[in-house]
Amino acid sequence: MPRSLRLLVLLGLAGLLSAVVAYAGLFYVRSLRQERGIAAHAEEIFRSPTSFVAGNPEGDVSVVAFLDYNCPYCRQGAPDLAKLIEGDPKVRLVLKELPVLGKHSEDVARIARRGPPRQIFRAASEAVR
């Protein structure tokens, strides 16, 4: 192999390695930022009195599910969340409304919050199915 071709291959590999290292560093910084954000807002996320809790309210494992009543992915994941709390008595499921899909989502979330907690959960469950 000619020397110039070998040098070109080595430079290409060095560039690829640099890109992989940069991506790994970016991923690390993002995950660190997320962890710090969650830790800084842990009380709001896991123990907010306005959030509905399903499963075991005193469970030692908390799962937080953000949902929009109009979200097809939320509907798709709802049966899995139901199985999770039915299958493990230690799970505490915290439902957080995140109406991001428009005014209709905001209106439905506002209406759902006006009912008693059991009805809110039932409405959330039905809406996402």
Question: Which tens digits make up the pLDDT trace of 51-87?
Answer: 888 889 899 999 999 888 888 898 888 889 889 988 9
Query: Shortest CA distance to 112 belongs to which of 103, 125, 101, 100?
Result: 125
Name which of 25-34, 63-72, 112-121 the model is least confident about. 112-121
Residue 114: beta bridge partners? none
Token representation of residue 123: 């409405």
Phi and psi at residue 55, in whole multiples of 5°? 80, -140
Phi and psi at residue 31, in whole multiples of 5°? -65, -35
- 50, 97 contact by CB (below 8 A): no
